Chains A and B, each alone.
Chain A
C-alpha cells in the first residue's frame, strides 16, 4: 500500500499544468525551481472587479510587453503608458523602471491573457540568461548615458545605438517562449549579434582603441576557448544528465499516473473484496466490475474517453446492470455508430431486456450480442433460464411488452421474443439505421 500512496503524492506534487513543466524542460536545468518559487504578482483591489494581474502579455508587445502589461493592469491605453515610459526615459528613470518591471513581471499565461481567473497564473521560468541580459542592459545604459554626457558626438552615439539595437533584438528573441529550433529565431539572433558586434567594432574604431582592444580581444578569445575545451566533458555530462533527468521524470510521472489509477481502482476493490470475503456474490460482482473497468482502461481507452458511441453505451449499460442485478453479461459488439436519439432508445430497451433476464430467468448469466450494419442495428439478449409462455403473461405484467416492444415500434424497429418454458429466452431487437 505504501508505494502506490507515495507515488500518488508524487503525482499530485508535480506542477499541475503542462505548459509550466514543459517549458522548464525545454529551457534549462534550474528553472523549474525558480518558476515554482516566484510568487505571481496578483493585485486585486477590493470592491471593484479584479484587475487583470500585472503580467506581460504574449501578444501586442513592443519590446518586452512591460508597457502593454502595465497598461492592461491600469486599464489604460498602452500608447499612454508607452509615451510615459519614453518621457521618463529621457530622465533615465523610465529605463530603470522599465528594466525593473521587465525583471519582475511574469509572462501572462494563456488564461490570464483571456482575462480568466487570476488565481493561479504560471510564473515565467526565469533563467540565468535573462539576468545576464538585464545586467548587460543596465551597464550598457549607464555607459551610454555616461558617454553621451561626456562627449556628445555622433561618432559615439551611432555605434552605441547599433549595439543597443542588436542587444534589443537578441533579448526580444530570447525572452519569448519560442525555442531555438525555430529558424526565424536563429536568424534574428544572428542578426542581432552581428549588429551588436558591428556596433562594438565601430565604437572601438571611432574612439581609436581598436588596436589596443584587438590584443585584449585575442587574449580573451584564447582564454575562453581554453576554458571551454578544458571543461568540455563537464558540458557534455551536463547535457547528458539533463536528457537522462528528463526521461526519468517522464517515466516517473507515467508511473505515478498508473499508480494513482491502480490505487483508486484496483487496490480499493481488493480492500473491499477482503472485507466481503464471506459473501461470494458480492466478491464476484466487485471483481467483475473492476475487471471490466481495468480492461477498458488498458485496452480500450477511446471508448472510455470519447463515449458517445454505441459500443461505449453498451459497455456502460452492461456495467450498470451487472452492478444492480445478479447477472453476468458477456457483451459482444460488432461495428459501432455514434449514439443518436433512436440508438439511445434502443439502448434503454436493451437494458430493459437485460433486467428482465436478471429478474425472471433464474440464471445469473446472459449473452448480449449487438451488430451495427449499414442498414440496421440488431441486439440479441439471450439467457438459458426458465423461459416462459408468452400467452400466459398476465396483462398487468406489461414490462416487456410496453417498454421494449412499444419503444421500438414507435421508432420503426421490431422486437421479437423467442421463449418457451425451460428453453430460456431470447429477445431480438432491431432498429433500421434510416430511422436514426
Chain B
C-alpha cells in the first residue's frame, strides 16, 4: 500500500514543520501552504489524498479552502487539525465536509493513524469532537417538544441509541477497537456508526444546530 499523500495547511511555519516531522515516513507530505490562496492553488496542483487543514487561517479560515475545493476535488479528504476549542468552528468545518477533527496536542503516532484512517475513507473522532457532537444532538433532541421545526426530518436530527453509545465511548477516550469489543460489534460496524453520525451532522436540519449553538453561547 502506498503511503497517503498529505498536504499541510497551517499559518504557522513551526506547526507545519512539527507536523511534517511527526508524520514521519508512513506518510508522504506533498506540499504545505500558509494561507487560503496558496492552499487552494497548491491542493489543485498536487491533488493530495488527505489535507491537514488548520481551522484558523488568514483569509477566511480552513472553511474557505474547503468550500472552494470541496465540489471541485471530491476525492480529496479533509482532516481538521486545530488548536481551537471553539465548538462552532469545529462543527462548521465538519459540516463543510471535513472527515474528522483532531487537536494539535495529538501525539505523532495518533496523527499518523488518523491520516491513514481518513485516507481509507473513514472518519476520525477525537474525544472532544465526540463531545461536541453529543452536545449538539442532545440539545436538538431536548428541543423536540416543538413539532413545527422537528417535522422537517426527525430521522436525521437524532442519533440512534447505538450511535449515541459509540459517541459516548469515543468521548470517554476509547478507540474503535475497544468500542467494538465493549459493545460486541466489529470494528467495521463501529466505523460505520461513526460515519453515519458524521453524515447526520453534515446533513441535519440547520435550525437545530443553530439553536444548539445559541444555547451554548456560541452565537
| Residue A382 lies at the interface, judged by CB distance under 8 Å to chain B | yes
**A380 nearest CB across to chain B (Å):** 4
CB-CB under 8 A for A332 and B138, given A302-B217, A369-B173, A382-B172: no
Establish whether residues B85 and A332, one from each chain, have CB atoms under 8 Å apart when the complex forms: no
The 5 listed contacts between A and B (C-beta, < 8 Å) are A295-B85, A335-B138, A369-B171, A373-B138, A382-B174
Question: Do most interface residues of chain A lie in helix, strand or loop, or is the interface mixed?
Answer: strand
The 8 closest A-B pairs by CB, nearest first: A367-B173, A332-B131, A369-B172, A380-B172, A369-B171, A334-B134, A334-B135, A332-B171
In the assembled complex, which residues on chain A have CB atoms less than 8 Å from the CB atom of B105?
330
Residues of B within 8 A of A382 (CB): 172-174
Q: Is B127 an interface residue (CB 8 A)?
A: yes
Question: Known contacts A333-B131, A369-B131, A371-B134; is A299 also within 8 Å of B86 by CB?
Answer: yes
Q: Are B142 and A299 in contact (CB under 8 A)?
A: no
A429-B84 Cα distance, complex, nearest whole Å:
29
Report the interface size class on chain B: 10 to 19
A374 to B127, CA, bound (A): 22
Cross-chain contact B168 with A371 (CB below 8 angstroms): yes
A299 contacts B173, C-beta separation under 8 Å? no
B117 at the interface (CB under 8 A from A): no
Residues of A near B168 (CB, < 8 A) are 369, 371
Write the chain B residue with the least CB distance to A288. B105
The reply to whether B138 and A426 form a contact with Cβ atoms under 8 Å apart is no
Give the residues from 366 to 394 in chain A that come closer than 8 angstroms, CB to CB, to chain B.
367, 369, 371, 373-374, 380, 382, 384
The reply on B128 being an interface residue by CB < 8 A is yes
Nearest-neighbor residue (CB-CB) of B107 within chain A: A365
Q: Does B201 contact A (CB under 8 A)?
A: no
Beta-carbon nearest neighbor of A384 in chain B: B173
CB distance from A248 to the nearest CB of B (A): 25
Q: Name B142's closest neighbour in chain A (CB-CB).
A: A374
Confirm or deny: B51 has a beta carbon within 8 angstroms of a beta carbon on chain A.
no
User: Which residues of chain A from 383 to 436 have a CB within 8 Å of any chain B CB?
Assistant: 384, 426
Q: How far is the CA of A247 from the CA of B86 in the complex (A)?
A: 29
B130 beta carbon closer than 8 Å to chain A: yes
In the assembled complex, the CB of A69 is this many whole angstroms from the nearest CB of chain B, namely 45
A residues sitting closer than 8 Å to B (CB atoms) are: 295, 299, 302, 330, 332-335, 367, 369, 371, 373-374, 380, 382, 384, 426
Q: Cα distance A302–B173 when bound, in Å?
A: 27
B217 in contact with A330 (CB, 8 Å): no
Residue from B84, B86, B128 in contact with A330 in the complex, judged by beta carbons closer than 8 Å: B128
A330 to B217, CA, bound (A): 22
Q: In the bound complex, what is the Cα–Cα distance between A335 and B87 (angstroms)? A: 13
Given contacts A367-B173, A426-B172, 19 further A-B contacts (CB under 8 A): A295-B85, A299-B86, A302-B217, A330-B105, A330-B127, A330-B128, A332-B127, A332-B128, A334-B131, A334-B171, A367-B172, A369-B127, A369-B168, A371-B134, A373-B138, A374-B142, A380-B172, A382-B173, A382-B174
Instruction: Give the CA-CA distance A333 to B172 in the complex, in Å.
Output: 10
Q: Within residues 160 to 184 of chain B, which ones have a CB less than 8 A from any CB in chain A?
A: 168, 171-174
Collect the chain B residues with CB atoms within 8 Å of residue A332's CB: 127-128, 130-131, 171
How many angstroms between the C-alpha atoms of A335 and B132 in the bound complex? 10
Chain A residues with CB under 8 A of B134? 334, 371
Give bound CA distance, A426 to B174, whole Å: 10
Q: In the assembled complex, which residues on chain A have CB atoms less than 8 Å from the CB atom of B217?
A: 302
Across-interface contacts of B135 in A (CB, < 8 A): 334-335
- In angstroms, Cα B86 to Cα A426, docked, is 28
Chain A, residue nearest B182 (CB): A418
Chain A contacts of B84 at CB under 8 A? 299
In the assembled complex, how far is the CB of residue B111 from the closest CB belonging to chain A, in whole angstroms?
Answer: 15
Contact A334 B172 (CB under 8 A): no
Complex contacts, B174 vs chain A, CB 8 Å: 382
Q: In the complex, A299 Cα to B85 Cα: how many Å? A: 8
User: How far apart are A427's CB and chain B's nearest CB, in angstroms?
Assistant: 11
A371 to B137, CA, bound (A): 13
The smallest beta-carbon distance between A121 and chain B, in angstroms, is 38
List B residues 112-154 near A (Cβ within 8 Å): 127-128, 130-131, 134-135, 138, 142
- Measured in the bound complex, the distance between the Cα atoms of B194 and A366 in whole Å is 23
Q: Which of B138, B173, B174 neighbours the largest number of chain A CB atoms within 10 Å of its CB?
A: B173
Given the complex, which residues of A lie within 8 Å of B86, measured CB to CB? Answer: 299
Q: Which residue of chain A has its CB nearest to the CB of B137?
A: A334
What is the chain B residue whose CB lies nearest that of A299?
B86
State the CA gap A57–B17 with chains docked (Å). 66
**A367-B173, A369-B173 known; A334+B138 contact, CB < 8 A:** yes
In the assembly, what is the distance between CA of A295 and CA of B89, in Å? 14
**Bound: A382/B172 CA distance, A:** 7
Min CB gap B142→A, angstroms: 7
B179 to chain A, nearest CB (A): 12
- Chain B, residue nearest A301 (CB): B217
Q: How far is the CA of A299 from the CA of B86 in the complex (A)?
A: 7
A382 CA to B173 CA, complexed, in Å: 7
Bound Cα distance from A332 to B138, whole angstroms: 15
Bound-state Cα–Cα, A299 to B56, Å: 14
Q: Which residues of A contact B138 (CB under 8 A)?
A: 334-335, 373
Q: A302-B217, A426-B172 are in contact. Are A367 and B131 (CB under 8 A)?
A: no
- The distance in angstroms between the C-alpha atoms of A371 and B86, with both chains bound, is 18
Most buried by B among A334, A335, A367, A382: A334
